[in-house]
């Protein structure tokens, strides 16, 4: 083999496709770009994320700024200063100490009364004895009410009722007992040998007295013979 015999493998080198050289070449006239349009023009560079002018995906998708806690408790809040002012004006009743709860505050217009739990905050001053029942208290509110000779009552959270048809206390499920495993044949063989062993012992014990009884007459016969001699 000589240098002029070397050549590339068939199909390894292919001629460049020459476009725009007439319709007979297969890529003539529009040169594979199609008829008109943005991509048929010179200098068309459209990014892969372009969506033709419609609102792109990164604008359509809502942005997640944190998250919403579905277990958050939303309170109806009221300050002790407002409660004390209404109590001094006689708008919460004339009893002493003045009894305050969510219903009396809703009737007085201090809260909306839409069923949310009530929380008492500590802004303001308390100059009258109050008996306040609420679902939550701030530390400062509790201290101010008790310092004025009042009392606080923390209400227990409401437990949702169980739906109809369900028992309140579910009975524990009984544990399934596992089926007893079949004993292997070896244990049966051992039991058979154990039963046969006592019977063999009893046979040997019964054979021993019989042999002794057979030997006794022979001894008695030999004694007179000795006496005769």
Per-block mean pLDDT, blocks of 10 residues, the chain (229 long): 92 90 87 90 90 93 85 94 93 88 93 91 94 95 94 83 55 61 56 56 53 50 46
Among 172, 173, 138, 171, CA closest to 152: 138
pTM recorded for the entire structure: 0.46
In what side-by-side order are the strands of the sheet with 118-121? 76-79, 118-121, 136-137
Q: What are phi and psi of 222, to 5 degrees?
A: -75, -25
- Specify the pLDDT at position 44: 86
Q: What number of CA atoms fall less than 13 Å from residue 41's CA on the CB side?
A: 6
Alpha carbons 126 and 132: distance in angstroms, whole number: 12
Among 46, 32, 121, 34, CA closest to 83: 121
Q: Which two tokens stand for residue 127?
A: 């100059």
Task: With beta carbons less than 8 A apart as the criterion, state whether 105 and 78 touch.
Answer: yes
Task: Give the model confidence (pLDDT) of 51-106 as tens digits.
Answer: 999 999 999 998 888 888 899 999 999 999 999 999 999 998 888 889 999 999 99
Alpha carbons 119 and 72: distance in angstroms, whole number: 14
- Specify the pLDDT at position 50: 93
Among 24, 149, 28, 168, CA closest to 98: 149
- Specify the pLDDT at position 201: 53
The angle at the Cα of 132, spanning 130 to 137, to the nearest 5 degrees, equals: 120
Query: Strand pairing partners for 133?
Result: 153
DSSP state of 24: G
- Specify the pLDDT at position 219: 47
The count of residues in the chain is 229
- Specify the pLDDT at position 137: 96
Domains identified in the chain and CATH numbers = 76-154 (3.100.10.10)
């Amino acid at each position: 083999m000589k240098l002029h015999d070397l050549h590339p493998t068939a199909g390894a080198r292919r001629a460049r496709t020459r476009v725009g050289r007439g319709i007979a070449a297969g890529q003539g006239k529009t040169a594979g770009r199609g008829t008109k349009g943005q991509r048929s023009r010179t200098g068309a560079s459209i990014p892969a994320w372009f969506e033709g002018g419609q609102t792109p995906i990164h604008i359509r998708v809502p942005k997640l700024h944190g998250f919403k806690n579905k277990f958050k408790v939303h309170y109806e809040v009221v300050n002790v200063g407002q409660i004390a002012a209404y109590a001094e004006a006689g708008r919460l009743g004339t009893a002493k100490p003045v009894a305050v709860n969510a219903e009396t505050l809703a009737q007085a217009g201090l809260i909306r009364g839409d069923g949310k739990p009530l929380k008492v905050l500590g802004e303001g001053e308390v100059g009258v004895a109050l008996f306040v029942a609420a679902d939550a208290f701030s530390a400062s509110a509790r201290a101010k009410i008790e310092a004025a000779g009042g009392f606080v009552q923390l209400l227990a959270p409401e437990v949702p009722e169980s739906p109809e048809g369900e028992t309140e206390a579910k009975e524990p499920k009984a544990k399934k007992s596992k089926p007893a495993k079949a004993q292997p044949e070896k244990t049966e063989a051992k039991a058979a040998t154990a039963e046969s062993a006592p019977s063999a012992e009893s046979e040997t014990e019964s054979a021993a007295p019989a042999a002794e009884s057979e030997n006794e007459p022979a001894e008695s016969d030999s004694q007179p013979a000795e006496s005769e001699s």
